[in-house]
Amino acid sequence: MLKLSRRVDLGILLLTDLARLNTGQSLSLSTWAQTKQLPYRFLTKIALNLKQAKLITSKEGRTGGYRLAKGIGQISLGEVIFRLEGKTSPVACLRGEACVAFPYCRHKKVIGGLAALVDKYLAKVTLQDLC
């Protein structure tokens, strides 16, 4: 039911690699992208979103790079997904979009309940759990 976009998938990958750094270390995004054979330009957009969300920090220069802005136990997957994708819902009506089946729909409440359970679970899973 839950489908993660490539943006979220790579964002989580970046965050988990940042979580594995030693204290005081930074990660060069260009080097990381080359090592993992990932698209650097796309990663810069993801990193910018994560930085704007105050999940990571960056420092320019030769000794610069990216670091986590919070402890690994303070960053939940739910927050990462929300920051990179916005509100996620399995069906249009739960995202506030028009639904052509509105007069006949019998499953919105069930799907909404399931989505709420997924959101609640993702809010509890942290980078620490992944590492």
pLDDT at 26: 93
- Residue 106 banded pLDDT, cuts 50, 70, 90: confident
The Cα 49–Cα 100 span in angstroms is 33
Give the chain's mean pLDDT: 90
Reported residue count of the chain is 131
Could you tell me the pTM of the whole model? 0.86
Which of the residue ranges 1-15, 24-38, 84-98 would you say has the lowest mean pLDDT?
84-98
Percentage of the residues of the chain whose pLDDT score is greater than 90: 61
The Cα 34–Cα 90 span in angstroms is 34
Considering the four listed CATH numbers 1.10.1200.10, 3.60.10.10, 3.70.10.10, 1.10.10.10, the one that applies to the domain covering 6-130 is: 1.10.10.10
- Residue 2 banded pLDDT, cuts 50, 70, 90: low
